Structure 1
């Protein structure tokens, strides 16, 4: 959630920089969200080094797929953050609305439970959340014993592409109006 929150505040936070013609809002959004991604990557590397020195074995079945899923979630968070940042330039209360929406999304994302623990008749109410697909697919990539029943790579990829396209389209249409307010 750090990427979403920080990228949603990127335009308002860096408004004085837009006096320079070379600096555009997309630059600050990419810089802030990229820094968040690198920070999380560095923390994971430090934890891995600590586990190595403590002689703890870490076995991930498909680490490249886990990284690919993390990058998809990062793209979704940056895209939604861009949309919220553009909307917040016109209506400042949107950032408060973001907090109200992200809390339930976080709780039904499958962080605290596995989809396999819930009866199948409730799955249609939960599987509309792309974060649930990302969490379940990353569990499956790390430990195949979890299984990937009920989730799909296609839905996660479609959610990533649609959110990125919609964010870039809205940015292209409204970035000049956003910084002029």
Structure 2
């Protein structure tokens, strides 16, 4: 009980870290809901509700398959899955830990383990949700064909990585101003409801409107994702590697902010909160 844990070599240290990340990921998944299966069902229902709402909105407006030459429902789901994974990764990483939380006082844990556990829990939930919804749609309603599954899956992971990098910036701001961090995180998530471009096809946007969306890595991710999904669609207004370079830059900025914050962060900061 009172024996200090020591790693004898690099392999043992890596194994210990991965074991901690695994258990922290499971802990985050179980804290969302007492029943793991019901927690996954609730995650899937969030995506299904988004799909139904957007499908109903497009039907009322009168916009149908003219948006893109392909499965119209797959076109809607492609934007929703990328959007949900990205914004939830931002929120999970931004609220992953605090120096005043009780769990951080346990010696084996550290900030990297808590951040990794929160991020991987989101990736697991959204990946299972995406695969189940697509499988049910394929087997029950209409068969679907994905032109490049590897490319589509890669962009799915890049959207998660980009969300984690942006969430790391908000996490570094959080100790200095918790309320401002919550507001900024919520504003970013709400702005991406429209700025992500999941409502429309990027190739059809007028040139004078494009600069309002071109800054957003999620806009590029969703449009490029549709290029991998549909054989008849080729993105011309977005860049494939822009989200990756944006994520790397955000990751570096987030690490700098967090390393600087950790030098000055104190438990007493949370006394007045």
- The count of corresponding residues between Structure 1 and Structure 2 is 181
Q: Secondary structure at the match of 1:15?
A: coil
Residue 108 of structure 1 corresponds to 195
Residues 55-111 of structure 1 show CA distances to partners (whole Å, capped at 9, x for unaligned) of 731211111111111111111111111221221111012211221233223311111
Structure 1 unmatched ranges of 5 or more: none
**Structure with the bigger percentage of helix:** 1
1:145 to partner: Cα distance: 2.0
Structure 2 unmatched ranges of 5 or more: 1-86
Compare CA radii of gyration and give the structure with the larger one. 2
Q: Aligned equivalents of 1:82 and 1:71: distance in 2?
A: 17
Residue 81 of structure 1 corresponds to 167
RCO (CA 8 Å, sep 6+): is it higher in 1 or 2? 1
CA contact (8 A) 2:202 2:235 kept: no
Q: Aligned equivalents of 1:168 and 1:14: distance in 2?
A: 20
Residues 106-130 of structure 1 show CA distances to partners (whole Å, capped at 9, x for unaligned) of 3111111111222123222321111
Q: Aligned equivalents of 1:140 and 1:179: distance in 2?
A: 48
Given the alignment of the two structures, is residue 8 of structure 1 paired with residue 94 of structure 2, yes or no? Answer: yes
Instruction: Name the CA shift for 1:74/1:39 in 2 (closer, same or farther; >3 Å).
Output: same
Q: Compute the TM-score of the two structures, normalised by the length of structure 1.
A: 0.88
Instruction: Please list, as runs of the form range in 1=range in 2, the aligned pairs for 1:9-48 lying within 5 A after superposition.
Output: 9-12=95-98, 15-48=101-134
Output the aligned Cα RMSD: 2.1
Instruction: Name the CA shift for 1:171/1:119 in 2 (closer, same or farther; >3 Å).
Output: same
